[in-house]
Structure 1
Amino acid sequence: MSAREDATKTARQISRAKQRKAGDRSTRLANALMKLPEPAVKKLELEDDLREAVNRARKITALIARRRAERTLAGDLRRFDLVALAAQLAKVHESANLDTELLHLAEGWRTRLIEEGIAAAASFPGGPTDELTRLIDAAKRERTTGRPPGAARALFRHIVEELKAPPAEEAAAADEDADDDAGDSDEADADSDKADTDDDRSTR
């Protein structure tokens, strides 16, 4: 076999390997897109053609037909940037995992605050505020009287918002950074004005 034939064979093998790799990746991504919850799909920044292909495949519910739709979607995906799509999916999955952890944490705090009362609020991230105390008391009364869980839900929403908020130290540091940036900008403007004045004097 000549050197040219060897080179041609090697190039063909490399091309086939790349095609297999792209096929494997598009198959995995198509499977992930078919299983992704609808709210998560809406968060993806997709080209119009790609979103149309994804929506078309996801609309099919019959098992065998859905498998065919997934294979078709895998083929459609090869026309797009698979690396960028994989990165978006990873980001969405990470966000979903964080949201799930947050909700579990909030549920634990709600149970503890209702059972232990304001004493447990001392270690709560937002601290024992008047609003938290009011919500805890309302949720306790609600549990005692057997009313629908409106107050408990309000307490849960409050806990989630507090857990989402940055710690006070981080917020203060962010404010200080903003003040420093503003101060630096003012100093730069003052230096610029002084330089302009000096230039005017030198030209007279």
Structure 2
Amino acid sequence: MSDHERVHAAFSRPAPDLARRLIGALLVHQVPGEAEPRAGRIVETEAYLASGDPGSHSWRGQTPRNASMFARGGVAYVYRIYGLHHCFNVVSGPGGSGQAVLVRALEPLTGLEAMARDRGGHVERLLCSGPGRIVQALGLGPEHDGAPLTGGPLRVQLGEPLPLQRLTVGRRIGLGRGEDMALRFCLRGSPWLSRPG
């Protein structure tokens, strides 16, 4: 298996597996014209399943809005929520399955000045502690929907998987349906979470 195939295989796993695997990975965006990339360590995720998940955008099948969610794992799914904010997801699973992982919180690492500027001067603790804040801080938008994440200016860099004892697993947040499913994964003890893990 080539390096390229290995990378794609890592993102082609089921959403709950990828959601666990993404904890500790880096999310990096090299914004055009900026010398330093904006990057953070992923500390909180939520999995959205291919079937049997009423909280998932794929619940009723493919639409123009959720089309990227049905791509092969390893691309971005970016959508608007409440008409105000955008959320960033990593598509998972094989093509056509409709799975994704919402990135809920990052520990900001580089590009902090640019992040703070785009977040309206918020303190470091609040730069990336929530899905809408991540998109603002990293300079993302609807134009990144469907973008590949395995290389290029927007990418997810996987490191070694963290041991399970370093993670917490709980219910997803803010859903009317499917909130009771234990599909939220957090880095245990992280001060950067959107809510306590």
Q: Give the TM-score of the pair, scaled to structure 1.
A: 0.21
Q: Give the TM-score of the pair, scaled to structure 2.
A: 0.22
* Bigger Rg, structure 1 or 2: 1
Q: Give the structure with the higher percent strand.
A: 2
